[in-house]
Amino acid sequence: MEANTEIKNAKVRIEHIEDVLSSVAAGDLDIRIESEIEDDLTGVEQAINLLIDDLTHELKKSIKMKEDMEDKLRKIQDQQKTILQQQEDLMELSSPVSKVWDNILILPVIGTLDSQRTQIMMENLLLKIVSTGCTTAILDITGVPTVDTQVANHLLKTVTAARLLGAECIVSGISPAIAQTIVHLGINLSNILTKATLQSAMIYAMKKNEQLVDGKVKTNFTDIDDIQL
């Protein structure tokens, strides 16, 4: 009779443990197994309680970590957006082609050149040559710190493409470092007209267009004839 009661009790307690475990599985971590009497099952119950405690702790930790990671990810995405925006801005700002005199265009290049930028530069310059009808273009690379083979190749292509359109392209402002690199790389720039400074390129262009005769500026669109240079 007594044994029967014990088995019944044990059954009830095991059922209780099962209930608690299924609650935990469903996500309720505050629940614990409570027992009034001490016997063989108490150890098991306590162990399960401890396990639930650990589980709760770990879960909390991982949730916090996930939040941290998401926060960082958001920050990185924001930064990425800013970088892309700035790159776009830089692209727009980086290749202005301006008409400085009758028949003369200037493209000042500042900063490091990469293939994409030189490509955009080339397109801008060619479109501007066609739209303004200028036959002389000065490519000023004073602000370029270094060039590599690819960039030099692109410069050559730009000059050749401008020639195919019927415009002459002068490269000015080649720094000592760039000159050294170009010669060391074995790039032949001899069929490109190069001038030391933007000033000498400008003077050359104006002389060629007969806008500068004997040190005097001639223009046919204003009264500022005979400016002493």
Interface with other proteins includes 116 (CB under 8 A)? no
The tokens of 10 are what?
């044990």
Residue 201 CA: distances (Å) to CA of 93, 102, 138, 169:
23, 15, 7, 10
Of residues 52, 105, 167, 174, which one binds other proteins by CB under 8 A? Answer: 167
Smallest separation, CB 166 to other proteins (Å): 4
Interface with other proteins includes 210 (CB under 8 A)? no
Site string for other proteins, 125-144 (x = CB under 8 A): -xx-xx--x-x---------
* Dihedral, CA of residue 110, residue 116, residue 118 and residue 120, to nearest 10: -100
Interface with other proteins includes 122 (CB under 8 A)? yes
Cα separation of 52 and 46, whole Å?
10
Interface with other proteins includes 160 (CB under 8 A)? yes
Residue 216 CA: distances (Å) to CA of 103, 197, 199, 207:
17, 20, 15, 10
Comparison of 20 and 151: residue with beta carbon closer to other proteins = 151
Q: Are the CB atoms for 94 and 111 separated by under 8 Å?
A: yes
Of residues 57, 163, 207, 216, which one binds other proteins by CB under 8 A? Answer: 163
Of residues 69, 165, 179, 183, which one binds other proteins by CB under 8 A? Answer: 165
Cα separation of 129 and 107, whole Å?
11
Of 6-14, 17-25, 122-130, 221-229, which part binds other proteins (CB under 8 A)? 122-130
Comparison of 164 and 229: residue with beta carbon closer to other proteins = 164
Residue 48 CA: distances (Å) to CA of 40, 62, 64:
14, 21, 24
The site for other proteins (CB under 8 A) is made up of 122-123, 126-127, 129-130, 133, 135, 157, 160-167
